[in-house]
Structure 1
Amino acid sequence: MVWADKAIFLTPKTTKHLKSLTDKLVHFTPDPAFTFHQSHLFRRSLTNYDFAITTKKYELSYFEAHLKKEQIIYATQGFDTNLHQPITKFNEKKDGLLFIGHHEKEREMFVQKMIESKIPVSIAGIKWEPFVAKNKENFYLNYLGDGIYGQEYVKAISAFQFSWGSVSKWIPELHTTRTFEIPACGTALITERNEETTSFFTEEEVIFYDSIEEMIDKIKYYQSHPDKLELLTLRELKE
């Protein structure tokens, strides 16, 4: 069996050749392949694969335009059990919330309201520099750079009381890798309430919100009730 991952945009000729060398040719991508990242080579080659695996439920109809339904496999995002593990003890965690991810206008609005509500927020990711410059005098904002990866990513998430599993508004996704990586690192996941996140977790396992106001209220509640926050974190650690 031969796999072609998201980073490889193979030509139809190449995929036909690969298929001749194997019983099964499988394509996998954890990213949006039609609604955001796009490649004409991918679309033209897709019919040469025996199976295609996607983590984007909202793109299933696009895949169905090229393959039979039985050739398309939907899988949720996930985490690496060998990498994403708890590192920091609860009583040693930093106060406040961590977000690792690229800048989006909607995310900026949330972070702005949090720091104005005196909630410490640390962010890392690309395109945040103008926002950081605008708030350079705000004590509650901490910029960790344009990216954190690998073991340092795990250490960063595990070091905080809360971490935000924000889903992108550029695409209609309802969960992301952070949805699973944050709990796996032993930190309280804050995530929007939707049909996918509520299918993975209960109200007793993560911190759901429907609005920025609810998000802020819940953060402040758990900040003033660290015993309950610890129980929430420990419950996640058991998963």
Structure 2
Amino acid sequence: MKILFISDRLNTDGRSYQRKCTFEELGYTVITYPAVPVEDVRKKPLFIDRVLWKLGFQRDLTHLNQQLPILAQQHQPDIIWIEKGNTVAPATLRRLKQRLPHSKLVSFSEDDMFARHNRCWFYTWGLKEYNIVFTTKSYNCQPNELPSLGAKKVVFIDKSYDAQTHYPRILSTKEQQDLGGDVGFIGSYEKERAESLLFLAKNGIKVRIWGTGHWQTLQGQSESLLIENKPLYGENYLKGLAAFKINLCFLRKANRDLQTDRTMEIPACGGFMLAERTEEHLRLFEEDKEAVYFSSESELLEKVRYYLSHETERQAIASAARVRCINSGYSHHERLKQMLAYL
């Protein structure tokens, strides 16, 4: 069977690329085409692109709308899998359905696609053309969300990890020193995250932050706070998860997250996870046995202090979480098989 796989993030250390490889491991022939030039994935958008996005549009820089029908006609895929799809014109989707009526047209996104800041008009207008829409945001399935924009069938899927990528690393002493510490967060800036991390630092907890955004605004506010002001990618990111005694898992408020990529990636890599308490987190990992949770800054501080001084318990929880990932089928393999069963 063939899958025509379209994504705006086909960089080789990204989650879309991991899913593409997983499809291949499952026995599918996968034809890929980037919706965004791979070399531009991590670049800041140009002024013209920021203006167009404000107006609800994204430039088709890879000529996707020209190439997608050609590729589909050439390869006759069983599934046309489009991740996010902000540059795919509704007319292109209709053309695909007319020319390949046997193909399943699938939308998938790990972002909150009901939120205006994540979607453009092409995505909104094209939703009704898909056979099925998969989302990792449970609330997107509610009648007043993606279905209200025209989506015919919306299915919620939990987050996942890549078995070939996310596994425990054994680090040298130098790698531990270069990447880790007592408490760490790897991710982009958000005001609430910054406030919580500064709160820990001002209470004597050594905190190290890797990521992009406005983290430099915290510079110099506490001797216990180390701001790297740069991201960790690829193998360094994976080693970073192993290098911290405690990995903090914050949820993105702008995306209304109830779980996030790191919900799976931290435990799969054998890291100890201290995460925001949500119903979805509690369902995925048992509290105080497979992960530890907090609902306030005071509880966060209490849990950090306790587990920094209880190494055996910390390691047991991290090990149990890794086992839960495997036994409960949280990998890309199992999630993709679950999604394919809907088609």
Q: Same fold (TM over 0.5)?
A: yes
AA matched with 1:144: E
Amino acid at match of 1:84: H
Cα offsets for 1:166-207 (capped at 9, x unmatched): 001223221111111111111111111121111111121111
The answer to whether the Cα contact below 8 Å between 1:108 and 1:131 also exists between their aligned partners in 2 is no
2: distance between equivalents of 1:156 and 1:3? Answer: 32
- Stretch of structure 1 that moved more, 225-234 or 212-221: 225-234
| Partners of 2:256 and 2:297 in 1: CA distance | 19
Larger fraction in helix: 2
Deviation at 1:81, TM superposition (A): 1.1
8 Å Cα contact 1:58/1:173 also seen in 2: no
Provide, for residues 64-96 of structure 1, a one-character-per-residue CA deviation record: whole Å limited to 9, x for no partner: 12133xx2221111111111111136x996441
- State whether residues 163 and 189 of structure 1, in contact with CA within 8 Å, keep that contact through their aligned partners in structure 2: yes
Q: Distance in 1 between matches of 2:85 and 2:229?
A: 24
Q: Which residue of 2 is the match for residue 81 of structure 1?
A: 163
- Using CA pairs below 8 Å that are at least 6 residues apart, which structure has the higher relative contact order? 1
Structure 2 Cα separation of the partners of residues 130 and 154 of structure 1:
23
**312, 315, 318: which one pairs with 1:230?**
315
- From 120, 132, 139, the counterpart of 1:58: 139
Give secondary structure in 2 for the equivalent of 1:196.
Answer: helix
Structure with the greater alpha carbon radius of gyration: 2
Mapped pair 1:45 → 2:126: yes
Identity of aligned residues (%): 29
SS in 2 for 1:108: helix
User: Which runs of 4 or more aligned residues in structure 1 lie more than 4 Å from their structure 2 counterparts after TM superposition?
Assistant: 91-94
How much does 1:7 deviate?
5.2
Task: Note the residue ranges of structure 1 that are not aligned, 5 or more in a row.
Answer: none
Aligned position for 1:103: 189
The corresponding residue for 1:153 is: 237
The amino acid that maps onto 2:157 is: A
SS at match of 2:184: strand
Any conservation in 1 of the 2:198–2:218 contact (CA below 8 Å)? no
Corresponding residue for residue 112 of structure 1: 198
Displacement after TM superposition at 1:8 (Å)? 4.6
